[in-house]
Structures are given as C-alpha cells and as structure tokens.
Amino acid sequence: MNPNTSSHENEEVLKNVKEHQQNKKLASSELGDLFANYLGDTLFTCVFEHHLQVVQDDEIKEFLEFALATSKKHTRMIKEIYQKENIPVPVGFGEQDVRKDAPRLFSDMFMVFYTTEMSRAGLMTYGSALSSSLRQDIVDYFKMCINDTIVTFEKGLHLLLSKGMNVFPPTIPYPKKIDFVEKKTFISAIAGKLRPLTGLEIKHIQININTNTLGKSLMLGFSQVAASDKLRRYFQDGAKVANTQIKQLGAFLISDNLPTPSIMDAHITDSTTPPYSDKLMLYHTTLANGIGISNYGTAVSKIMRHDLHGQFATLTMDIGKYANEGMNLLIDLGMLEEPPTAADRKKLSKEAKGNN
C-alpha cells in the first residue's frame, strides 16, 4: 500500500479485500503453514509449561510466562480458523506429552537461550509463511505472529545480555575506505591462501554454531530421559552430529583468530526422569533438524568463499541423513501426524472404478 494513503483509505481497501475473499478457500501454502504452526506452538506450550514448573529466576519466569501466553494465543487462533473452515483440528501436543512432577532437565539460562533461538527460527518461518499467504485474515495472523516473535526475541536477547551470556558474532574492524574486489582469490583459494571471513560469513557461521549448540544440548538431555532404547541411541547420535558440526564450523572462526561460542553442556542436569513424551522429543528433534537445514540453505546463498560452500553442503547432507532417520522413526512408531496433501487422483480413480 502507498505509505501516503490515509488510514481511512487503508481501512476501506482492507474491508473491500475481506469482502471479496469471504468465500475464498485457504491456499495450499496457508494450509501447510497453519498446520506446521499449530504443531509447533502446541509443542512449545508443553515445553514452556514444564520450564515454568521448575524455573527459579523471577525475571526468566516472567519471560517464559510471556512466551507461553504467546504460544497459547497462536494455537487458539488457529483453532478458530480451522473451525470456521470446517477442518479437523490437528492432534499436536498436549497434557499427555508433559510430566508435571518431573525435575528440571535444563538450567534457567538454557531456557532463555532455547526460547531466544526458537524465536530467531520463528522469525524466518513466519516471514516465509506471510510471503506465501493470500487471504487477508491469514496475512493478518502471520503479521501478528511476526510481531509477537520480534518481542520474544528482543526480550530474550536482553535477558541473555543482562545475565552475562554473549551469543553474538564477534566484532571486526570498520572499513576505512571503499574498495572493489580485483582478484578471484576473494571467492576461492589460490596457492593455498584464503582471504579473511566477511561479516556475513561470520554471522552465518555463528548462527549455525548456536543452532548446533542448542541441538547438542537438547539431544544430550533427551538421551538421558527417553523411555525407548532406540530413541536414546538416536538422540545420542544427534549429539555426536551436532558436536562434529560445532567443531568444523568453529575451525573457520579460529583460523581467523576469532572467538568461538561456548557450548551449553554444563546447563544440562543429571535428571533421568522424562519431562516430555517420546513423541514430543522425537518431533522436536525433527523440528530442530529442519531449522538447521534451513539455516545452512540461507547461509550458502549469502557466503562467497568456495571452501565454505563445500563445507556447508557436507554439513547439510549430514543433518539431512540424520533427519531422515528421525522421520522414519516417527512413522515406525505411529507418531507422525500427516500434513495437508494434494488429492491422490490415481487412488480416487481406482476407488471410483471399484464402486461401479
């Protein structure tokens, strides 16, 4: 819309759009994003509810209460959309997936780090959902989600800083003059020499280290409490994958004499009592895998050095392989809720033939 247009004119335009779309069905992208959002926010509701049962720091408790209220608001609004469209509400996650008397599995600071990293991922997810939404009520919903997530992310950053945890990329010198690249060594090694990392390359290395740091800690914690031997082994494998990725990404920073982020292993308790169901922990792992793959995809589109491209491609394949194992486990255990899909025309045709 034109920024110079009056608010009254904007309201009229939106009113006309909504009237025009009264009987418009949800697009496939909207169905898919709402389904994923519902499962995600019902999962986060369970996680935050457990955190609030065991958190000790009052400031962190207030932050988690805000995050919980936000997730509950989102799921309530999606339910209303489903009911309006006569679509079955997904099962998602609920009281059956949280053990109320379970002791803490992670420290208070880890809870802040976890929530902040999840909101960082949420900003990208909601941005993608908004960009492929057509119906005005769905556009409005995802705009609200983005605003909610910005507030959560900002609150989390402030808490991390005030509590003394720095999870941000290191500083580099300010440019002193405008320059243009003259040699192809900027993107590839010649005679074994590589140029220093750019600011964006440092950013994406740091983001992916943070994601793997979170993932490793989750996997270690989940491996302590999972009821199934098969899942315990799967989570242990995930911790190993994340640890390898942290080391390989950190090596790029070390080679430029830049600091690497601290791991969060010390923030896991020695509890062996599961606060969550195996279903929730396994689905959460697939969610984390998806975030990791998405982060690498974004990174590859922004970085310029060929060695980074190659390394990120290898790391993506490693996560992809691990993610595929997790999806197979979800299916084998009957835990994977099927998302909205296109009609199977061949199957419908066969059924129609059989009924004649």
CA distances from residue 248 to 288, 309, 346 in whole angstroms, order as listed: 19, 13, 47
Show the DSSP H helices in the chain as ranges. Answer: 7-20, 28-54, 58-84, 108-131, 136-162, 199-225, 229-255, 278-302, 306-332, 345-355
Structural contact between residues 124 and 87, judged by C-beta atoms closer than 8 angstroms: no
Which distant-in-sequence residues (6+ apart) come within 8 Å of 201 by Cβ?
252, 302, 303, 304, 305, 308
Tally the residues of the chain.
Answer: 356
Query: Which segments of the chain belong to CATH 1.20.1260.10?
Result: 27-162, 191-332
pLDDT in tens, 124-176: 999 999 999 999 999 999 999 999 999 999 999 999 999 988 777 888 889 88
Confidence (pTM)? 0.88
Report which residue type is found at 354.
G
Tell me which residue of 297, 315, 147 sits closest to 244, measured CA to CA.
Answer: 315
pLDDT of residue 5: 62
In angstroms, the CA 162 to CA 62 distance is: 15
Residue 260 phi/psi, 5-degree rounding, is: -105, 145
Is residue 274 within 8 A of residue 226, CB to CB? The reply is yes
Q: What is the pLDDT of residues 277-306, one digit of tens each?
A: 999 999 999 999 999 999 999 999 988 888
Do the beta carbons of residue 50 and residue 98 sit within 8 Å? yes
Tokens 């034109």 locate to 2
DSSP state of 267: G
354 vs 207, higher pLDDT: 207
pLDDT, one tens digit per residue, over 22-58 is 668 999 999 999 999 999 999 999 999 999 999 999 9
CB atoms within 10 A of CB 103: 13
Question: Under CATH, which number does the domain 191-332 receive?
Answer: 1.20.1260.10
CA 179 to mean position of chain CA atoms: 37
**What pLDDT score does 50 carry?**
97
CATH topology classification for 27-162: Ferritin (1.20.1260)
pLDDT category, 181, cuts 50, 70, 90? confident
* Spatial distance between the Cα atoms of 289 and 28, rounded to a whole number of angstroms: 23
